[in-house]
């Protein structure tokens, strides 16, 4: 019985790649230094999988930034603005596409399906001249082979690559991206031929778009693509991998009929209905890669249940044709539980990070082959029994409060236009008010202060004094820049979700449970293991401290319940919506305490609301109903004069705009600039939005500083479709990842652009 891993985390157990990337970008180390760190990480990962007994070990899943960007580099699909003239794509071009540079912006970044991972969206059109411009897949296969490790090279499948792309700027938005299939397939043939020549016996194509609701034209593209590749694939075992959801019936029929394909991979954790399709018929003699170990959560696998599932599958496809696998890449989980020195033993026994999941996969494969590790299985059963019976999981008062929410839709008593009038009388803001999203740069000194406080190296008084000084600096800077609604900069927070989770009951935290979000950006998701409540106020002290330093409105900064949920590792013993309602009640308490303390503007970020949208349309209405309801619960009790903001970033919002309106926030700030202002197309098409709205005027994930004229041009485009009295001016997102040398001039130009347009609007009256 064989075992397989779809993909593995790349940052390293101590974020080695993150620090190497940032050192390289800052000019403190060379390209060779970066490549050395990357090679050491790859070698360690391959050896770890081999030592764990994994038979089908992936290669080409390592990336310096993003696997979709790697595919773009392989295909030579570099947008003209980066000045690439051909040849092997190097770091300069690669990182310019990912991050932008001093003269041109980065490519769009958006969420990878319904995860918190971000990918760089390919920009394509009929004029793109594809060429084989990165040999990374072959080089990494050879690198592993030289180390004595046979791997399965992984490529983003050709159809999914095109379906995840967008028409480049200037290309008709109705351009059919799949029309480029015949232009990219020759490059895929070259890559496959090189892999065969290097000795590869297996190859994995990731085609995750097969789990989406695809029409017959898109499904036909899969049949056409693999028919075209069939002769090149001859002599190879070919795995087509799907993940993140059930595969629809028609897509299953298409997939299992693809020519040249030997094996099919399915997510059987989030795709439980796929099991029924397999039972209904599976191609004779083909391999089934059964994703029974969860690649997206950190709970230990229920080994006994998984063995039962695998035995039933073996009865359908045959034991020799069944491969035990992860549900998706382990990129979405933390690296190694061994590094967690502060988790208590009970909670630790309930968990499995990527390294432990390798052991689980192999243990299941061995058990199915008749070599069951009885001690390992017994320990696993004991851990599951412990979690079910632990008193720390259940809080009866919280469950009663959440159950009492049923029967009300929790809407504020007056409509948004009435509230905005009341708020304007109190706040007296100018037309096109300026603000930022919340965080300011997290300096080395600031990180040192937080680290030393957590390590008890400085006293609480010293910590509070240092944080107050940082807040004062940020407040004074915003006043000097003449920003209208201020933020305190969040110097006390390392992460917007972790900060709140640390102060809520029902959460546990890791020391090194880092997960890649994009590029070098890593997050440390909290673990929601039990019922959630708020023992005491979380932000009131810092918000009131900041407000006391200025006469301008100071935003109270909170993370919303849906975002806390979607950016955490969530318990699986109750429906997600029940956990979300519990978090909503905790945030509601905080909102009302902020209002009582005199904070008149409160931002409740829902950056991840769109991210959690189910991939299948049939499941989306239910999710949006409880997600939007959860947000409304948080602020239903505030006065009309209290202005509620929310923020969303880096997703495609156009298809959920009515749900965004239904959130009933007074003001929404939303990513706009990096996605070529797609958001504005909703309003051009006639959607009426009566609340305040601030589509981002510049991209904060790039070091590039936009000019006043560029920002003014963006604001003018917004004014063409939005009323001036509802439009706000703000960046795309928080500023924590930027340096002050970038933030200060960018915000100065933003405020100047707003003032310029105020004058123009006043003179046009």
Q: Tell me the three-class secondary structure of 166-192, residue by residue.
A: EECCCCCCCCCHHHHHHHHHHHHHHHH
Task: Find out whether 649 is annotated in a ligand binding site.
Answer: yes
Task: Find out whether 707 is annotated in a ligand binding site.
Answer: no
Helix (H) or strand (E) holding 645: strand 643-648
User: What is the 8-class DSSP label of residue 729?
Assistant: B
Q: Tell me the three-class secondary structure of 485-524, residue by residue.
A: EECCECCCCCCHHHHHHCCCEEEECCCCCCEEEECCEEEC
Task: Find out whether 15 is annotated in a ligand binding site.
Answer: no
**CA geometry: angle 510, 511, 517, nearest 5 deg:** 75
Q: Is 708 helix (H, G, I), strand (E, B) or coil?
A: helix
Task: Find out whether 522 is annotated in a ligand binding site.
Answer: yes
Task: Find out whether 502 is annotated in a ligand binding site.
Answer: no
- Residue pair 117/164 in contact by the 8 Å Cβ criterion: no
Tracing tokens 């409740």 back to the chain, one arrives at: 604
Task: Find out whether 671 is annotated in a ligand binding site.
Answer: yes
Distance separating alpha carbons of residues 174 and 178, to the nearest angstrom: 11
**CA geometry: angle 661, 664, 665, nearest 5 deg:** 105
Task: Find out whether 488 is annotated in a ligand binding site.
Answer: no
Task: Find out whether 328 is annotated in a ligand binding site.
Answer: no
Distance separating alpha carbons of residues 422 and 280, to the nearest angstrom: 61
| CA neighbor of 184 nearest in space, from 242, 133, 239 | 133
Task: Find out whether 439 is annotated in a ligand binding site.
Answer: yes
- Residue pair 552/415 in contact by the 8 Å Cβ criterion: no
Task: Find out whether 460 is annotated in a ligand binding site.
Answer: no
Active site residue 701: yes
Question: Which of 118, 410, 645, 701 is flagged as catalytic?
Answer: 701
Task: Find out whether 329 is annotated in a ligand binding site.
Answer: no
What are the φ and ψ backbone dihedral angles of 634, each rounded to 5 degrees?
-65, -30
Q: Tell me the three-class secondary structure of 341-363, residue by residue.
A: CCCCHHHHHCECCHHHHHHHHHH
Task: Find out whether 490 is annotated in a ligand binding site.
Answer: yes
The number of residues making up the chain comes to: 765
What are the φ and ψ backbone dihedral angles of 325, each rounded to 5 degrees?
-140, 175
Task: Find out whether 733 is annotated in a ligand binding site.
Answer: yes
Task: Find out whether 114 is annotated in a ligand binding site.
Answer: no
Task: Find out whether 187 is annotated in a ligand binding site.
Answer: no
Mark the binding-site residues for 5-methyltetrahydropteroyltri-L-glutamate, compressed into ranges: 18, 116, 521-522, 567
Annotated binding site for L-methionine: 437-439, 490, 605
Active site members: 701
Q: Which residues are annotated as a binding site?
A: 18, 116, 437-439, 490, 521-522, 567, 605, 647, 649, 662, 671, 733
User: Residues annotated as binding site for Zn(2+)?
Assistant: 647, 649, 662, 671, 733
């Amino acid at each position: 019985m064989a075992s397989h891993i779809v993909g593995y985390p790349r940052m390293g157990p101590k974020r080695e790649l993150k620090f190497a990337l940032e050192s390289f970008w800052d000019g403190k180390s060379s390209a060779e230094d970066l490549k050395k760190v990357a090679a050491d990480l790859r070698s360690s990962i391959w050896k770890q999988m081999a030592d764990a007994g994994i038979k089908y070990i992936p290669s080409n899943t390592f990336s310096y930034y993003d696997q979709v960007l790697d595919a773009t580099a392989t295909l030579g699909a570099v947008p003209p603005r980066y000045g690439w003239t051909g040849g092997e794509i190097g770091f300069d071009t690669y990182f310019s596409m990912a991050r932008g540079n001093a003269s041109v912006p980065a490519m769009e970044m958006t969420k990878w399906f319904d995860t918190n991972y971000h990918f760089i969206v390919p920009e394509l059109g009929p004029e793109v001249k594809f060429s084989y411009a990165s040999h990374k897949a072959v080089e990494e296969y050879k690198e592993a082979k030289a180390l004595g490790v046979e791997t399965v090279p992984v490529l983003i499948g050709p159809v999914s690559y095109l379906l995840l792309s967008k028409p480049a700027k200037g290309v008709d938005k109705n351009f059919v991206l799949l029309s480029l299939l015949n232009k990219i397939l020759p490059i895929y043939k070259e890559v496959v031929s090189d892999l065969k020549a290097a000795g590869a016996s297996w190859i994995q194509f990731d085609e995750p778009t097969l789990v989406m609701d695809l029409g017959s034209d898109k499904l036909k593209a899969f049949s056409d693509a693999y028919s075209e590749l069939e002769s090149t694939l001859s002599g190879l075992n070919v795995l087509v991998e799907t993940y993140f959801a059930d595969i629809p019936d028609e897509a299953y029929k298409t997939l299992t009929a693809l020519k040249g394909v030997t094996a099919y991979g399915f997510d059987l954790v989030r795709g439980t209905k796929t099991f029924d399709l397999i039972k209904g018929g599976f191609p004779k003699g083909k391999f089934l890669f059964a994703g029974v170990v969860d690649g997206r959560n950190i709970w230990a696998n229920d080994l006994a249940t998984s063995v039962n599932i695998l035995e039933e599958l073996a009865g359908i496809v045959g034991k020799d044709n069944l491969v035990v696998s992860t549900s998706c890449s382990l990129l979405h989980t933390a690296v190694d539980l061994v590094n967690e020195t502060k988790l208590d033993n009970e909670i630790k026994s309930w968990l499995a990070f990527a390294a432990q999941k390798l052991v689980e996969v192999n243990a299941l494969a061995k058990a199915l082959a008749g070599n069951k590790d009885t001690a390992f299985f017994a320990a696993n059963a004991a851990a599951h029994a412990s979690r079910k019976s632990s008193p720390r999981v259940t809080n009866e008062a919280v469950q009663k409060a959440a159950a009492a929410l049923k029967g009300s839709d929790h809407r504020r008593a007056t409509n948004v236009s009435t509230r905005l009038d009341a708020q304007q009388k109190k706040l007296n803001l100018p037309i096109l008010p300026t603000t930022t999203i919340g965080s300011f740069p997290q300096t080395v000194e600031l990180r040192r202060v937080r680290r030393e406080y957590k390590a008890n190296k400085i006293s609480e008084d010293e910590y509070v004094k240092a944080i107050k000084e940082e807040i004062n600096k940020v407040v004074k800077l915003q006043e000097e820049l003449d920003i209208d609604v201020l933020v305190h900069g969040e110097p006390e927070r390392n992460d917007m979700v972790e900060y709140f989770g640390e102060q809520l009951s029902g959460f546990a935290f890791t020391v090194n449970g880092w997960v890649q979000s994009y590029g070098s950006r890593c997050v440390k998701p909290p673990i929601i293991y039990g019922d959630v409540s708020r023992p005491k106020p979380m932000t009131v002290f810092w918000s009131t401290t900041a407000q006391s330093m200025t006469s301008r409105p100071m935003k109270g900064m909170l993370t919303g319940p849906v975002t806390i949920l979607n950016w955490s590792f969530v318990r699986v013993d109750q429906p997600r919506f029940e956990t979300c309602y519990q978090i909503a009640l905790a945030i509601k308490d905080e909102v009302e305490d902020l209002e009582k303390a005199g904070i008149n503007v409160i931002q409740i970020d829902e950056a991840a609301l769109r991210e959690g949208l189910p991939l299948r349309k049939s499941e989306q209405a239910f999710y949006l109903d409880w997600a939007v309801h959860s947000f409304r619960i948080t602020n239903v009790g505030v006065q009309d004069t209290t202005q509620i903001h929310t923020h969303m970033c880096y997703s495609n919002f156009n298809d959920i705009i009515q749900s965004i309106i239904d959130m009933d926030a007074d003001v929404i700030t939303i990513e706009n600039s990096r996605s070529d202002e797609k958001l504005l197309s909703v309003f051009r098409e006639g959607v009426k939005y009566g609340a305040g709205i601030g589509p981002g005027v510049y991209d904060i994930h790039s070091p590039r500083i936009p000019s006043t004229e560029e920002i003014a041009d963006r604001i003018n485009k917004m004014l063409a479709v939005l009323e001036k009295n509802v439009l706000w001016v703000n960046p795309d997102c928080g500023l924590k990842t930027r340096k002050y040398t970038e933030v200060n001039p960018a915000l100065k130009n933003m405020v100047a652009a707003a003032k310029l347009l105020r004058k123009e609007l006043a003179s046009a009256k």
